[in-house]
Chain A
């Protein structure tokens, strides 16, 4: 390998001289029951290169590991093969044993004869024969292995957090409090994310703003946080520890250094526009405005599509009234380059578009609301000042139907459960009772998913408040009355699966509990940052259970609902977890990277550049002047796509070289009739 770090010469010049030790594990009876382990060990000892072969009850035990260590030293073994469980289980264990005995840990090969063989069949003869083939493959591969050294790279202690919702905010504050600098970028004009729109939070009914806004202010005032709102990440270069990020600052047309946030401009602006963004169409904002009065930062932004000056060239009311001359209509977008060591993505989710379920009438029937509309409505700072009213703005509903799982748990839209909506629906039921005491509330649900601390208790509380629960998916919401009781109402038609009957419930107001979806541009964001997305667009974590905030790309972490539907507590937990992971990395100052990476032999490279485009991590650069491509080792994640793609075989994939794999194939097929002629 063209690894520039202390290259250790292999102990023997040719594979023929390698001294292999083979260790076959019984795993108690897990392996030995199906595979004749003694037989495999005896047979292995007869194979070429093999100096010693043993079988042992538990190879992973300290005694088993010592066996390997002693043999390495006493018998001068240069390669170790362990036939046992999955490498995902104990590869690290045995690499450690090799290392302790002075053998490079990459001169070790594991044959998985437990998960892949002894547990997968009862046929002892076939399993034993398969195990032999696996061991032979491992031996043949091991003799061609080369010692590899991990790469060490320095970690820049600055961190970029993308998204200033509750997850990103938590991550940024945790890191900043630990003494590390954070750039917090949000494409909206204020941080706060979706949580800033909410009124109360379940199950405690804390006011969302009361717990969120102090954190927003903390972030803005923190000496270790550089807040960049109305900004977007355009490009990411580099690798863990050394990312270079280009951020685009969109023009606010307000000079932040001069603006005091007094709000006079907002007051005097003559252009009043329906606010589709923050007020989800229920309220209005001015052409110069901020999302909400407690926005952080407090600087407003001019909405150029509705600003009279930008549209017609006159007005300038804001400029005239601004006491500090902070309005600048000529502002242009600017770009800034940030150097960071780690990146935490907390880009959140989007609401499912209720118009996609036409039978529920959203957008057609006036008094069908989405959950976010209702959320804004019950918010004391929202467009109706907390009054629960119909679309006319004055009439309080006498009955409210809450429909669960709109766009979730539905094969036509999203199969998954959006996790937070059941509890939000229960909260809404409670809030309707609180604001309109006489109103009847009907919940149409599939299952009530109240899994969380004090969630079930909240459900019981809502039950006791007299909310009606009807179990069944709603077929339709209509205004076509069939009988005298239904006139002038919205009728919810649903099957009540508990009594096995169709029911028609007339109500004044319908709330659709819309699910969460990945951001519409999640795939673009994923490709900018070089991470994976699943079918639905949620970012893919390294391990769903054991590594939920780390991605496959070193140094890129995820937190909150960008990884999958989440409520506030889980988002906060992930934000903290991501921050802790980053702080841990920064604390180490350097990071050790797996040496399983590609490298290009310059002399064999034809400069065709095929590999440049094959690499998903932009880890291969082309040197125009010498017409040769080169792998930036720290960027390479070791997938081997370029190795297979190179028409000149100029790229070597460390630990998975062509020779190693071909040799393993030979070993695996040791008992088969080989073809005589070689296909060139």
Chain B
């Protein structure tokens, strides 16, 4: 399988209505250009993002999933982002066991005023996914061996 150098990954982006979606709106309004790789889904809160949504996106052909919410302490639903973080850490551990690289599923915080940061997060993730290449769910996940070591996770974002 030839690794294409101009591979354009597809990212499913879950953006919370109050901070990150508005950050994405702001990035656009400010004409901050970033990779057109992120296909957005608006959710009211990152706490709404079920692990199943992430798995569904990955097995339906996405090369990565970005979840973007308010900064801790600034959630419009008090602490939905913390709930999202907890689920994210567990999910990531599971994905690692599947053989999915940790860079493929990312959780970032972007306040409504941080359009630039959100755009930068998409760009950064796009580059990381370019380096990794396509996910190839069938080959990567379904052939994953049970001997993949547990990777120690750091609180990401």
Give chain A's interface residues, CB within 8 Å of chain B.
86-88, 112, 114-123, 126-127, 129-130, 133-134, 137, 526-527, 530-535, 540, 552, 596, 614, 616-617, 637-641, 643-645, 653, 656, 658, 661-662, 664-666, 668-669, 672-679
Q: Give the Cβ gap from B38 to chain A, nearest Cβ, in Å.
A: 8
Give the contacting residue for B53; candidates A123, A641, A665; CB below 8 A.
A665
Q: Which residue of B lies closest to A676 (CB)?
A: B138
Interface centre among A119, A129, A526 (most CB of B within 10 A): A119
Q: A640-B48, A668-B12 in contact; A120/B28 too (CB < 8 A)?
A: yes
**Across the interface, which residues of B come within 8 angstroms of A658, CB to CB?**
50, 52
Q: Which residue of A lies closest to B112 (CB)?
A: A544
Give chain B's interface residues, CB within 8 Å of chain A.
8, 10, 12, 18, 21-22, 24-29, 31-36, 39-45, 47-50, 52-53, 55-62, 71, 73-80, 83, 87, 119, 137-138, 141-142
Contact A669 B57 (CB under 8 A): yes
Contact B39 A532 (CB under 8 A): no
Contact B138 A677 (CB under 8 A): yes
Contact B138 A656 (CB under 8 A): no
15 A-B pairs whose Cβ atoms sit less than 8 Å apart in the complex: A86-B21, A112-B40, A117-B36, A120-B28, A121-B36, A127-B36, A130-B36, A532-B78, A535-B74, A637-B77, A645-B83, A662-B56, A668-B39, A669-B39, A675-B61
Contact B40 A116 (CB under 8 A): yes
The distance in angstroms between the C-alpha atoms of A131 and B149, with both chains bound, is 40
**Across the interface, which residues of A come within 8 angstroms of B58, CB to CB?**
675
Contact A640 B73 (CB under 8 A): no
Q: Give the Cβ gap from A599 to chain B, nearest Cβ, in Å.
A: 15
The distance in angstroms between the C-alpha atoms of A526 and B74, with both chains bound, is 12
Q: A535-B73, A679-B55 in contact; A530/B78 too (CB < 8 A)?
A: yes
The distance in angstroms between the C-alpha atoms of A515 and B142, with both chains bound, is 59
**Across the interface, which residues of A come within 8 angstroms of B21, CB to CB?**
86, 88
Contact A616 B39 (CB under 8 A): no
Q: Which residue of B lies closest to A523 (CB)?
A: B73
Contact A121 B39 (CB under 8 A): no
The distance in angstroms between the C-alpha atoms of A120 and B120, with both chains bound, is 12
Interface centre among A120, A127, A527, A679 (most CB of B within 10 A): A120
Q: Which residue of B lies closest to A552 (CB)?
A: B76
**Across the interface, which residues of A come within 8 angstroms of B71, CB to CB?**
535
Q: A644-B50, A679-B59 in contact; A88/B22 too (CB < 8 A)?
A: yes
Contact B41 A122 (CB under 8 A): no
The distance in angstroms between the C-alpha atoms of A297 and B55, with both chains bound, is 62
Contact B29 A119 (CB under 8 A): yes
Interface centre among A117, A121, A668 (most CB of B within 10 A): A668
The distance in angstroms between the C-alpha atoms of A114 and B40, with both chains bound, is 12
Contact B61 A134 (CB under 8 A): no
Contact A669 B22 (CB under 8 A): no
Contact A641 B31 (CB under 8 A): no
**Across the interface, which residues of B come within 8 angstroms of A130, CB to CB?**
36, 39
Contact A640 B44 (CB under 8 A): yes
Q: Give the Cβ gap from A222 to chain B, nearest Cβ, in Å.
A: 35
The distance in angstroms between the C-alpha atoms of A527 and B26, with both chains bound, is 30
Q: Which residue of A lies closest to B83 (CB)?
A: A641
Q: A120-B27, A134-B39, A639-B77 in contact; A665/B57 too (CB < 8 A)?
A: yes
Contact B10 A672 (CB under 8 A): yes
**Across the interface, which residues of B come within 8 angstroms of A532, CB to CB?**
74-78
Q: Give the Cβ gap from B4 to chain A, nearest Cβ, in Å.
A: 14
Q: Give the Cβ gap from A677 to chain B, nearest Cβ, in Å.
A: 6
The distance in angstroms between the C-alpha atoms of A534 and B60, with both chains bound, is 37
Q: Give the Cβ gap from A60 to chain B, nearest Cβ, in Å.
A: 16
Contact B73 A616 (CB under 8 A): no
The distance in angstroms between the C-alpha atoms of A674 and B58, with both chains bound, is 9
Contact B74 A540 (CB under 8 A): yes
Q: A130-B36, A616-B80 in contact; A644/B49 too (CB < 8 A)?
A: yes
Contact A552 B77 (CB under 8 A): yes
Give the contacting residue for A672; candidates B26, B29, B60, B76; CB below 8 A.
B60
The distance in angstroms between the C-alpha atoms of A668 and B75, with both chains bound, is 27
**Across the interface, which residues of A come within 8 angstroms of B40, CB to CB?**
112, 116, 134
Contact A616 B61 (CB under 8 A): no
The distance in angstroms between the C-alpha atoms of A129 and B137, with both chains bound, is 22
Contact B48 A126 (CB under 8 A): no
The distance in angstroms between the C-alpha atoms of A164 and B42, with both chains bound, is 41
Q: Which residue of A lies closest to B43 (CB)?
A: A656
**Across the interface, which residues of A come within 8 angstroms of B34, CB to CB?**
120-121
Contact A616 B79 (CB under 8 A): yes
